[in-house]
Amino acid sequence: MRKFIYIIMSVCLLASCASSDGLSRQERRLQKQTYIREALANRHYTINVTSAHPLGRPTIMLSTLYSLEVRGDTLVSYLPYYGRAYNIPYGGGKGLNFTGIIDEYEDVVVKPGEHRIRIGLTNDEDTYIYTVTAFESGSSTISVWMRQRTEISFIGVVDTKE
């Protein structure tokens, strides 16, 4: 009798762990791709960064949540900077932590499922060119070129939370 009760409880437990939305893995992947495609087209997306790649230095794995967010014509950059600075304000300046108005935005589909986005802006401290390569699978890379600092790249994931 005890075995029967354990079997019934384990079946109930497994049934409760089943996917509640009823979507298969393929359907969820297609749904994610559609969401990412629409977010890139609407210029409203966030890329959560997991690692930094400074020019000429080893890769740095990031434990804090850093991100790059595009909200229409506004860029919110909350990224760490590791590298050499040439001419910056006393105290280090803003680095890559600022909110600015986008001067230039170009989205090119390089091949199916791969977007290359070029974002240019200027603030009171420097001129920035962000080159974002976003894949519809969710992965992405970000390269940042600046006039007053050496280039740095990041690897991240497009946030799919709606």
The alpha carbons of the chain give a radius of gyration, in whole angstroms, of 21
| Domains of the chain by residue range | 44-158
Residue 56, pLDDT score: 85
**Residue 154 one-letter amino acid:** F
How many residues are recorded in the chain?
162
Q: How many alpha carbons fall within 13 Å on the CB side of residue 28?
A: 8
- 3-class DSSP state of 9: helix
pLDDT per position as a tens digit, 87-133: 777 777 778 899 999 999 999 999 988 999 999 999 888 899 999 99
Query: With 90 as the cut, is the pLDDT of residue 153 above it?
Result: yes
Rounded to two decimals, the pTM is: 0.80
Residue with the bigger pLDDT between 75 and 31: it is 75
Collapse the DSSP code of 91 into the 3-class scheme (helix H, G, I; strand E, B; otherwise coil) and give the result: coil
What average pLDDT does this structure show over 150-158? 94
pLDDT, mean over the chain: 86
Return the percentage of the chain with pLDDT > 70, whole number.
86
Among 111, 161, 151, 150, residue whose Cα is nearest residue 133: 111
User: Is 20's pLDDT higher than 60?
Assistant: no
List the CATH code of the domain at 44-158.
Answer: 2.40.128.410
Q: Does residue 78 contact residue 155 with C-beta atoms inside 8 Å?
A: no
Q: Residue 119: what pLDDT?
A: 95
Exposure string over 57-95, b if 16+ CB within 10 A, otherwise e? eeeeebeeebebbbeeeebebbbbbebeeeebeeeebbb
Mean pLDDT computed over 47-52 = 94
pLDDT band at 23 (very low <50, low <70, confident <90, very high): confident
The answer to whether residues 132 and 117 touch, using CB atoms and an 8 Å cutoff, is: yes
